[in-house]
Amino acid sequence: MSISETKAPATDFDRWVADEFTETGAFTALVILVQIVEPAVVPLCSTYFNVIGDEFDWGEITVLFAGSGRDWSGACFFPVTATDGGPLDNPTARLRLRELESRVDENRLVMNEGNFFDKWGRRLQIEEMQAQ
């Protein structure tokens, strides 16, 4: 049984993961947890996991992220698949995650290429600030 069969998705994240799985099938989610301190977004840590269904929701994700030991306020998800479809193998996922971390360290706007959510599962977007 999936979320879509039992109830309407409750958060932007829930809707995104259900739509992404329907469109793509199984995938790997590269994730960067961040602390949002206006006007900055500071990367804290990263991880990846394989999504093989839409049977989880934002509440379960927040429990997973609580294990990071970090005081996070946002998470950015980048869905990726292997060249032949499906989730990445572990070595490839680690490599892609390190590459993503470097890109985000250089330019926070890279997070707009992913799916960025606040700690309540609401969609966010990074806006460029003018230097003062």
pLDDT tens for the chain, 132 residues long, are 344 455 555 899 999 999 999 999 999 999 999 999 888 899 999 999 999 988 889 999 999 999 999 999 999 999 999 999 999 999 999 999 999 999 999 999 999 999 999 999 999 998 876 655
What is the three-class DSSP state of 91? Answer: helix
CA dihedral of 2, 4, 7, 11, whole degrees rounded to 10: 110
What is the length of the chain? 132
Give me the amino acid identity at 5: E
Read off the pLDDT of residues 38-69 as tens digits, 9 standing for 90 and up. 888 999 999 999 999 888 899 999 999 999 99
ω before 91 within 30° of 0 (cis)? Answer: no
DSSP state at residue 54: S
pTM of the model: 0.89
> What does the alpha-carbon distance between residue 35 and residue 119 come to, in Å, rounded to a whole number?
10
